[in-house]
Amino acid sequence: MLKSKVKPLNDILKEKLKPIVRQIDEQAYYPKEVLQAIGEAGYLSSEGKTLKETAAGEIEVVKQTSKYCMTTGFNLWCHLAALTYLRHTPNKALQQRLLPKLESGEVLGGTGLSNPMKYYAGLEKLHLKARKTEGGYLLSGVLPAVSNLGDGHWFGVIAATEDDQRVMALISCEQERLSLKEKVSYLGLNGSATYACCFEDVFIPDEQILSEDADTFVKQIRPYFVAYQIPLGFGVTQAAISSMKKHENKQNGCNQYLPVQPEDLVGKLKPIEEALGNIFQHSSADVKWEDLLPIRKDAAYVTLEAVNTAMLHAGGAGYLKNSADARRLRETYFFMNLTPTVKHLGKMIR
Ligand SMILES: Cc1cc2nc3c(=O)[nH]c(=O)nc-3n(C[C@H](O)[C@H](O)[C@H](O)COP(=O)(O)OP(=O)(O)OC[C@H]3O[C@@H](n4cnc5c(N)ncnc54)[C@H](O)[C@@H]3O)c2cc1C
Protein backbone atom coordinates (compact mmCIF):
# COMPACT_ATOMS: atom_id res chain seq x y z
CA MET A 1 0.00 0.00 0.00
CA LEU A 2 1.13 3.53 -0.69
CA LYS A 3 1.88 5.51 2.46
CA SER A 4 -0.85 8.05 3.29
CA LYS A 5 1.54 11.03 3.05
CA VAL A 6 2.42 10.15 -0.55
CA LYS A 7 1.81 13.05 -2.90
CA PRO A 8 -1.30 12.54 -5.04
CA LEU A 9 -0.34 11.51 -8.57
CA ASN A 10 -2.36 14.28 -10.13
CA ASP A 11 -0.44 16.89 -8.12
CA ILE A 12 2.83 15.51 -9.49
CA LEU A 13 1.47 15.54 -13.03
CA LYS A 14 0.02 19.05 -12.69
CA GLU A 15 3.20 20.48 -11.19
CA LYS A 16 5.83 18.65 -13.18
CA LEU A 17 4.27 17.50 -16.44
CA LYS A 18 1.58 20.00 -17.40
CA PRO A 19 3.97 22.96 -17.72
CA ILE A 20 6.36 21.08 -20.06
CA VAL A 21 3.93 19.29 -22.38
CA ARG A 22 4.58 21.73 -25.24
CA GLN A 23 8.32 21.54 -24.74
CA ILE A 24 8.11 17.74 -24.94
CA ASP A 25 6.13 17.90 -28.17
CA GLU A 26 7.78 20.84 -29.90
CA GLN A 27 11.36 20.72 -28.63
CA ALA A 28 11.89 16.98 -28.22
CA TYR A 29 12.28 17.53 -24.48
CA TYR A 30 12.66 14.26 -22.57
CA PRO A 31 10.51 14.43 -19.38
CA LYS A 32 12.92 12.41 -17.27
CA GLU A 33 12.14 14.33 -14.09
CA VAL A 34 8.46 13.35 -14.32
CA LEU A 35 9.34 9.65 -14.45
CA GLN A 36 11.74 10.11 -11.56
CA ALA A 37 9.13 11.95 -9.48
CA ILE A 38 6.54 9.20 -10.09
CA GLY A 39 9.03 6.57 -8.99
CA GLU A 40 10.24 8.60 -6.03
CA ALA A 41 6.67 9.03 -4.76
CA GLY A 42 6.27 5.23 -4.62
CA TYR A 43 3.86 4.71 -7.53
CA LEU A 44 6.05 2.01 -9.09
CA SER A 45 6.84 0.11 -5.92
CA SER A 46 5.93 -3.59 -5.78
CA GLU A 47 6.70 -3.85 -2.06
CA GLY A 48 4.11 -5.99 -0.25
CA LYS A 49 2.01 -6.44 -3.38
CA THR A 50 1.41 -9.25 -5.86
CA LEU A 51 2.52 -8.74 -9.46
CA LYS A 52 -1.09 -8.23 -10.45
CA GLU A 53 -1.84 -5.66 -7.75
CA THR A 54 1.34 -3.82 -8.67
CA ALA A 55 0.38 -3.81 -12.33
CA ALA A 56 -3.19 -2.64 -11.61
CA GLY A 57 -1.79 0.45 -9.86
CA GLU A 58 0.79 1.10 -12.57
CA ILE A 59 -1.85 0.80 -15.32
CA GLU A 60 -3.72 3.63 -13.63
CA VAL A 61 -0.52 5.70 -13.46
CA VAL A 62 0.04 5.27 -17.23
CA LYS A 63 -3.57 6.30 -17.90
CA GLN A 64 -3.42 9.43 -15.72
CA THR A 65 -0.08 10.42 -17.23
CA SER A 66 -1.33 9.92 -20.79
CA LYS A 67 -4.26 12.24 -20.16
CA TYR A 68 -1.68 15.02 -20.02
CA CYS A 69 0.83 13.69 -22.55
CA MET A 70 1.01 10.36 -24.36
CA THR A 71 4.73 10.77 -25.00
CA THR A 72 5.36 10.77 -21.25
CA GLY A 73 2.90 7.89 -20.82
CA PHE A 74 4.90 6.00 -23.43
CA ASN A 75 8.19 6.74 -21.66
CA LEU A 76 6.61 5.36 -18.53
CA TRP A 77 5.52 2.26 -20.46
CA CYS A 78 9.14 1.73 -21.62
CA HIS A 79 10.28 1.95 -18.00
CA LEU A 80 7.54 -0.45 -16.86
CA ALA A 81 8.58 -2.94 -19.54
CA ALA A 82 12.13 -2.90 -18.14
CA LEU A 83 10.69 -3.27 -14.63
CA THR A 84 8.67 -6.27 -15.80
CA TYR A 85 11.81 -8.01 -17.08
CA LEU A 86 13.51 -7.51 -13.71
CA ARG A 87 10.46 -8.62 -11.72
CA HIS A 88 10.32 -11.93 -13.65
CA THR A 89 13.98 -12.76 -14.17
CA PRO A 90 15.44 -15.90 -12.59
CA ASN A 91 18.71 -13.91 -12.31
CA LYS A 92 18.20 -12.90 -8.67
CA ALA A 93 21.52 -11.07 -8.38
CA LEU A 94 20.60 -8.75 -11.27
CA GLN A 95 17.13 -8.32 -9.82
CA GLN A 96 18.50 -7.32 -6.41
CA ARG A 97 21.03 -4.99 -7.97
CA LEU A 98 18.61 -3.03 -10.18
CA LEU A 99 14.93 -3.61 -9.34
CA PRO A 100 14.77 -1.30 -6.27
CA LYS A 101 16.56 1.44 -8.21
CA LEU A 102 14.14 1.19 -11.15
CA GLU A 103 11.09 1.09 -8.88
CA SER A 104 12.21 4.25 -7.07
CA GLY A 105 12.97 6.05 -10.34
CA GLU A 106 16.64 6.42 -9.42
CA VAL A 107 17.53 4.42 -12.56
CA LEU A 108 15.38 4.43 -15.72
CA GLY A 109 14.86 1.73 -18.30
CA GLY A 110 13.52 0.84 -21.73
CA THR A 111 12.88 -2.07 -24.03
CA GLY A 112 14.15 -3.16 -27.43
CA LEU A 113 11.59 -5.93 -27.83
CA SER A 114 9.64 -4.69 -30.81
CA ASN A 115 11.63 -6.81 -33.26
CA PRO A 116 11.56 -9.94 -31.02
CA MET A 117 7.78 -9.59 -30.60
CA LYS A 118 7.50 -9.53 -34.39
CA TYR A 119 9.91 -12.47 -34.60
CA TYR A 120 7.74 -14.55 -32.24
CA ALA A 121 4.65 -13.68 -34.34
CA GLY A 122 6.39 -14.82 -37.53
CA LEU A 123 6.73 -11.31 -38.99
CA GLU A 124 10.51 -10.76 -38.96
CA LYS A 125 13.94 -12.30 -38.33
CA LEU A 126 15.75 -11.31 -35.14
CA HIS A 127 17.97 -8.25 -35.64
CA LEU A 128 20.49 -9.09 -32.89
CA LYS A 129 22.94 -12.00 -32.85
CA ALA A 130 24.72 -13.34 -29.75
CA ARG A 131 28.02 -15.24 -29.82
CA LYS A 132 28.96 -17.16 -26.65
CA THR A 133 32.31 -16.12 -25.24
CA GLU A 134 34.06 -16.58 -21.92
CA GLY A 135 31.88 -15.10 -19.15
CA GLY A 136 29.10 -13.86 -21.42
CA TYR A 137 28.01 -13.08 -24.97
CA LEU A 138 29.09 -10.79 -27.79
CA LEU A 139 26.08 -9.02 -29.29
CA SER A 140 25.93 -7.54 -32.78
CA GLY A 141 23.23 -5.97 -34.94
CA VAL A 142 21.04 -2.86 -35.03
CA LEU A 143 17.77 -1.97 -33.31
CA PRO A 144 16.35 0.98 -35.28
CA ALA A 145 14.36 2.50 -32.39
CA VAL A 146 14.61 2.09 -28.63
CA SER A 147 13.05 4.76 -26.41
CA ASN A 148 13.53 6.11 -22.90
CA LEU A 149 17.30 5.88 -23.15
CA GLY A 150 20.02 8.14 -21.79
CA ASP A 151 22.96 8.22 -19.39
CA GLY A 152 22.61 5.57 -16.71
CA HIS A 153 19.59 3.94 -18.43
CA TRP A 154 19.16 0.21 -19.10
CA PHE A 155 17.08 -1.69 -21.68
CA GLY A 156 16.06 -5.26 -22.49
CA VAL A 157 16.97 -7.06 -25.73
CA ILE A 158 16.68 -10.55 -27.22
CA ALA A 159 19.38 -12.00 -29.46
CA ALA A 160 19.71 -15.22 -31.46
CA THR A 161 22.61 -17.50 -30.52
CA GLU A 162 24.68 -19.63 -32.93
CA ASP A 163 22.92 -22.79 -31.78
CA ASP A 164 19.49 -21.40 -32.67
CA GLN A 165 18.55 -20.44 -29.11
CA ARG A 166 17.51 -17.00 -27.94
CA VAL A 167 18.85 -15.15 -24.89
CA MET A 168 17.47 -12.07 -23.21
CA ALA A 169 19.78 -9.49 -21.66
CA LEU A 170 19.64 -6.16 -19.90
CA ILE A 171 21.90 -3.64 -21.60
CA SER A 172 23.42 -0.51 -20.10
CA CYS A 173 23.53 2.54 -22.38
CA GLU A 174 27.19 2.89 -21.31
CA GLN A 175 28.16 -0.52 -22.69
CA GLU A 176 31.39 -0.44 -24.72
CA ARG A 177 30.99 -0.81 -28.52
CA LEU A 178 27.32 0.16 -28.29
CA SER A 179 26.54 3.36 -30.19
CA LEU A 180 23.30 5.32 -29.84
CA LYS A 181 22.01 7.74 -32.47
CA GLU A 182 19.19 10.02 -31.39
CA LYS A 183 16.02 10.10 -33.52
CA VAL A 184 13.94 13.28 -33.38
CA SER A 185 12.34 13.60 -36.81
CA TYR A 186 9.11 11.83 -36.04
CA LEU A 187 5.64 13.27 -36.48
CA GLY A 188 5.28 13.13 -32.68
CA LEU A 189 6.93 11.41 -29.71
CA ASN A 190 10.18 13.28 -30.26
CA GLY A 191 10.52 13.78 -26.50
CA SER A 192 10.61 10.00 -26.02
CA ALA A 193 14.44 9.83 -25.96
CA THR A 194 14.45 7.37 -28.86
CA TYR A 195 17.73 6.10 -30.29
CA ALA A 196 18.91 3.72 -32.98
CA CYS A 197 21.15 1.25 -31.14
CA CYS A 198 24.09 -0.26 -32.99
CA PHE A 199 25.83 -3.25 -31.34
CA GLU A 200 29.32 -4.11 -32.62
CA ASP A 201 30.41 -7.17 -30.70
CA VAL A 202 29.21 -5.67 -27.43
CA PHE A 203 30.35 -7.82 -24.52
CA ILE A 204 27.43 -8.66 -22.20
CA PRO A 205 28.56 -10.49 -19.07
CA ASP A 206 26.49 -13.39 -17.74
CA GLU A 207 25.51 -11.15 -14.80
CA GLN A 208 23.36 -9.13 -17.25
CA ILE A 209 21.50 -12.09 -18.72
CA LEU A 210 17.79 -11.94 -17.85
CA SER A 211 17.14 -15.39 -19.27
CA GLU A 212 19.13 -18.00 -21.21
CA ASP A 213 15.77 -19.26 -22.47
CA ALA A 214 14.11 -16.20 -23.95
CA ASP A 215 11.46 -18.29 -25.74
CA THR A 216 9.98 -19.33 -22.39
CA PHE A 217 10.73 -16.05 -20.59
CA VAL A 218 8.95 -13.98 -23.22
CA LYS A 219 5.71 -15.86 -22.56
CA GLN A 220 5.85 -14.71 -18.93
CA ILE A 221 6.57 -11.07 -19.63
CA ARG A 222 4.53 -10.31 -22.74
CA PRO A 223 1.10 -10.09 -21.04
CA TYR A 224 2.48 -7.22 -18.93
CA PHE A 225 4.29 -5.70 -21.91
CA VAL A 226 0.92 -5.38 -23.70
CA ALA A 227 -1.21 -4.60 -20.61
CA TYR A 228 0.83 -1.49 -19.78
CA GLN A 229 0.27 -0.13 -23.32
CA ILE A 230 -3.52 -0.21 -23.14
CA PRO A 231 -3.92 2.72 -20.69
CA LEU A 232 -1.98 4.96 -23.09
CA GLY A 233 -5.12 4.82 -25.22
CA PHE A 234 -7.47 5.24 -22.26
CA GLY A 235 -5.75 8.44 -21.13
CA VAL A 236 -5.66 9.94 -24.62
CA THR A 237 -9.30 9.01 -25.29
CA GLN A 238 -10.44 10.62 -22.04
CA ALA A 239 -8.46 13.76 -22.83
CA ALA A 240 -10.02 13.88 -26.31
CA ILE A 241 -13.53 13.48 -24.81
CA SER A 242 -12.82 16.32 -22.33
CA SER A 243 -11.70 18.49 -25.21
CA MET A 244 -14.93 17.80 -27.12
CA LYS A 245 -16.96 18.73 -24.05
CA LYS A 246 -15.11 22.04 -23.81
CA HIS A 247 -16.22 22.87 -27.33
CA GLU A 248 -19.86 21.86 -26.80
CA ASN A 249 -21.33 25.37 -26.67
CA LYS A 250 -19.24 26.81 -29.45
CA GLN A 251 -21.21 28.45 -32.28
CA ASN A 252 -24.53 27.92 -30.50
CA GLY A 253 -23.97 24.21 -30.03
CA CYS A 254 -23.38 23.47 -33.71
CA ASN A 255 -21.11 20.49 -32.84
CA GLN A 256 -24.25 18.49 -31.98
CA TYR A 257 -24.67 17.98 -35.73
CA LEU A 258 -21.41 16.07 -35.98
CA PRO A 259 -21.87 12.31 -36.37
CA VAL A 260 -19.86 11.25 -33.28
CA GLN A 261 -20.54 12.82 -29.88
CA PRO A 262 -18.61 12.61 -26.58
CA GLU A 263 -21.19 10.25 -25.07
CA ASP A 264 -20.74 7.82 -28.00
CA LEU A 265 -17.06 7.58 -27.17
CA VAL A 266 -17.73 7.28 -23.43
CA GLY A 267 -20.00 4.34 -24.30
CA LYS A 268 -17.33 2.70 -26.45
CA LEU A 269 -14.50 3.26 -23.98
CA LYS A 270 -16.33 1.91 -20.93
CA PRO A 271 -16.50 -1.80 -21.86
CA ILE A 272 -12.84 -1.76 -22.95
CA GLU A 273 -11.80 -0.27 -19.60
CA GLU A 274 -13.99 -2.79 -17.81
CA ALA A 275 -12.42 -5.66 -19.74
CA LEU A 276 -8.93 -4.63 -18.59
CA GLY A 277 -10.20 -3.95 -15.06
CA ASN A 278 -11.74 -7.43 -14.90
CA ILE A 279 -8.38 -9.03 -15.64
CA PHE A 280 -6.33 -6.99 -13.19
CA GLN A 281 -8.77 -6.11 -10.42
CA HIS A 282 -11.63 -8.59 -10.32
CA SER A 283 -10.09 -11.91 -11.29
CA SER A 284 -7.70 -14.17 -9.46
CA ALA A 285 -6.74 -16.02 -12.66
CA ASP A 286 -3.32 -15.59 -14.28
CA VAL A 287 -2.95 -12.68 -16.67
CA LYS A 288 -3.26 -14.17 -20.16
CA TRP A 289 -1.72 -12.66 -23.27
CA GLU A 290 -4.55 -13.98 -25.50
CA ASP A 291 -7.13 -12.12 -23.38
CA LEU A 292 -5.21 -8.86 -23.63
CA LEU A 293 -4.73 -8.73 -27.40
CA PRO A 294 -8.36 -7.86 -28.33
CA ILE A 295 -8.44 -5.25 -25.55
CA ARG A 296 -5.24 -3.69 -26.89
CA LYS A 297 -6.70 -3.64 -30.41
CA ASP A 298 -10.04 -2.17 -29.30
CA ALA A 299 -8.19 0.46 -27.26
CA ALA A 300 -6.19 1.46 -30.34
CA TYR A 301 -9.23 1.89 -32.55
CA VAL A 302 -11.33 3.75 -29.98
CA THR A 303 -8.41 6.11 -29.39
CA LEU A 304 -8.09 6.78 -33.10
CA GLU A 305 -11.80 7.49 -33.35
CA ALA A 306 -11.66 9.78 -30.32
CA VAL A 307 -8.76 11.90 -31.54
CA ASN A 308 -10.21 12.15 -35.06
CA THR A 309 -13.56 13.19 -33.63
CA ALA A 310 -11.97 15.71 -31.28
CA MET A 311 -10.30 17.39 -34.28
CA LEU A 312 -13.73 17.89 -35.85
CA HIS A 313 -15.22 19.23 -32.62
CA ALA A 314 -12.32 21.62 -32.04
CA GLY A 315 -12.53 23.04 -35.57
CA GLY A 316 -10.06 25.81 -36.42
CA ALA A 317 -8.55 25.80 -32.92
CA GLY A 318 -7.62 22.14 -33.32
CA TYR A 319 -5.98 22.78 -36.65
CA LEU A 320 -3.33 25.01 -35.07
CA LYS A 321 0.01 23.26 -35.23
CA ASN A 322 0.53 23.38 -31.47
CA SER A 323 -3.02 22.48 -30.38
CA ALA A 324 -3.45 19.66 -27.88
CA ASP A 325 -5.97 17.98 -30.21
CA ALA A 326 -3.45 17.93 -33.06
CA ARG A 327 -0.77 16.58 -30.72
CA ARG A 328 -3.07 13.76 -29.61
CA LEU A 329 -3.84 12.94 -33.25
CA ARG A 330 -0.11 12.67 -34.08
CA GLU A 331 0.66 10.71 -30.92
CA THR A 332 -2.19 8.29 -31.56
CA TYR A 333 -0.77 7.25 -34.91
CA PHE A 334 2.22 6.05 -32.92
CA PHE A 335 -0.06 4.10 -30.57
CA MET A 336 -1.47 2.33 -33.67
CA ASN A 337 2.08 1.54 -34.81
CA LEU A 338 3.62 0.66 -31.48
CA THR A 339 4.48 -3.05 -31.41
CA PRO A 340 2.19 -4.98 -31.44
CA THR A 341 0.88 -2.71 -34.21
CA VAL A 342 -2.76 -2.98 -35.20
CA LYS A 343 -1.81 -5.12 -38.21
CA HIS A 344 0.33 -7.38 -35.97
CA LEU A 345 -2.62 -7.63 -33.53
CA GLY A 346 -4.92 -8.44 -36.44
CA LYS A 347 -2.68 -11.33 -37.43
CA MET A 348 -2.48 -12.71 -33.87
CA ILE A 349 -6.20 -12.42 -33.13
CA ARG A 350 -7.40 -14.14 -36.36
C1 LIG B 1 8.95 7.08 -31.81
C2 LIG B 1 9.18 5.61 -31.83
C3 LIG B 1 9.63 4.98 -30.72
C4 LIG B 1 9.85 3.61 -30.71
N5 LIG B 1 10.32 3.02 -29.59
C6 LIG B 1 10.60 1.70 -29.58
C7 LIG B 1 11.14 1.09 -28.42
O8 LIG B 1 11.32 1.70 -27.38
N9 LIG B 1 11.47 -0.21 -28.50
C10 LIG B 1 11.28 -0.96 -29.64
O11 LIG B 1 11.62 -2.13 -29.63
N12 LIG B 1 10.70 -0.41 -30.73
C13 LIG B 1 10.37 0.90 -30.73
N14 LIG B 1 9.80 1.46 -31.84
C15 LIG B 1 9.34 0.58 -32.93
C16 LIG B 1 7.81 0.42 -32.88
O17 LIG B 1 7.44 -0.33 -31.73
C18 LIG B 1 7.29 -0.28 -34.13
O19 LIG B 1 7.96 -1.45 -34.36
C20 LIG B 1 7.46 0.61 -35.32
O21 LIG B 1 6.84 1.83 -35.00
C22 LIG B 1 6.78 0.22 -36.57
O23 LIG B 1 6.51 -1.10 -36.75
P24 LIG B 1 6.10 -1.63 -38.17
O25 LIG B 1 5.57 -2.99 -37.94
O26 LIG B 1 5.24 -0.67 -38.90
O27 LIG B 1 7.47 -1.83 -38.92
P28 LIG B 1 8.23 -0.92 -39.96
O29 LIG B 1 8.46 0.43 -39.43
O30 LIG B 1 7.54 -1.04 -41.26
O31 LIG B 1 9.60 -1.68 -40.02
C32 LIG B 1 9.82 -2.91 -40.71
C33 LIG B 1 11.22 -3.39 -40.47
O34 LIG B 1 12.19 -2.43 -40.82
C35 LIG B 1 13.04 -2.15 -39.72
N36 LIG B 1 13.39 -0.74 -39.73
C37 LIG B 1 12.56 0.30 -39.59
N38 LIG B 1 13.24 1.46 -39.64
C39 LIG B 1 14.52 1.11 -39.84
C40 LIG B 1 15.72 1.85 -39.97
N41 LIG B 1 15.72 3.17 -39.93
N42 LIG B 1 16.88 1.16 -40.13
C43 LIG B 1 16.89 -0.19 -40.18
N44 LIG B 1 15.79 -0.93 -40.06
C45 LIG B 1 14.64 -0.29 -39.90
C46 LIG B 1 12.21 -2.50 -38.50
O47 LIG B 1 13.01 -2.84 -37.39
C48 LIG B 1 11.46 -3.69 -39.00
O49 LIG B 1 12.26 -4.83 -38.92
C50 LIG B 1 9.58 2.83 -31.88
C51 LIG B 1 9.12 3.48 -33.03
C52 LIG B 1 8.91 4.84 -33.01
C53 LIG B 1 8.39 5.49 -34.26
The answer on 104 and 115 residing in a single domain is: no
The answer on 147 and 118 residing in a single domain is: yes
Burial of 320 (0-12, 13-18, 19+ CB in 10 A): exposed
Burial of 36 (0-12, 13-18, 19+ CB in 10 A): middle
Last-in-domain residue among 52, 83, 108 = 108
The answer on 303 and 208 residing in a single domain is: no
Whole-number Å distance, alpha carbon 33 to ligand 1 midpoint, is: 26
The answer on 24 and 47 residing in a single domain is: yes
Q: Per-residue pLDDT tens, the chain, 350 aa: give them.
A: 455 578 999 999 999 999 999 999 999 999 999 999 999 999 999 999 999 999 999 999 999 999 999 999 999 999 999 999 999 999 999 999 999 999 999 999 999 999 999 999 999 999 999 999 999 999 999 999 999 999 999 999 999 999 999 999 999 999 999 999 999 999 999 999 999 999 999 999 999 999 999 999 999 999 999 999 999 999 999 999 999 999 999 999 999 999 999 999 999 999 999 999 999 988 888 899 999 999 999 999 999 999 999 999 999 999 999 999 999 999 999 999 999 999 999 999 98
Q: 145 with 183: CB under 8 angstroms?
A: yes
- The values of phi and psi at residue 128, to 5°, are -105, 140
CATH for 333: 1.20.140.10
The answer on 135 and 100 residing in a single domain is: no
Where would I find the beta strands (DSSP E) of the chain?
A: 109-111, 129-133, 136-146, 154-161, 166-172, 178-182, 195-205, 209-211
The residue whose C-alpha atom lies closest to atom 41 belonging to ligand 1 is 144
**174 CB neighbour count, 10 Å cutoff:** 10
Structural domain count of the chain: 3
User: Is residue 165 included in any domain, yes or no?
Assistant: yes
List pocket residues of ligand 1, CB cut-off 6 Å.
Answer: 78, 110-115, 124, 144-147, 186, 189, 192, 194, 334, 337-339, 341
Among candidates 42, 36, 38, which has minimal Cα distance to 5? 42
Whole-number Å distance, alpha carbon 35 to ligand 1 midpoint, is: 23
CA distance 263 to 102: 39
User: Is residue 185 included in any domain, yes or no?
Assistant: yes
Last-in-domain residue among 151, 181, 214 = 214
Domain that holds residue 51: 9-108
- Per the confidence metrics, is the pTM higher than 0.95? yes
Last-in-domain residue among 89, 108, 127 = 108
Atom of ligand 1 nearest to the CA of 343: 25
User: Is residue 222 included in any domain, yes or no?
Assistant: no
User: Is residue 27 included in any domain, yes or no?
Assistant: yes
CATH for 36: 1.10.540.10
The answer on 81 and 37 residing in a single domain is: yes
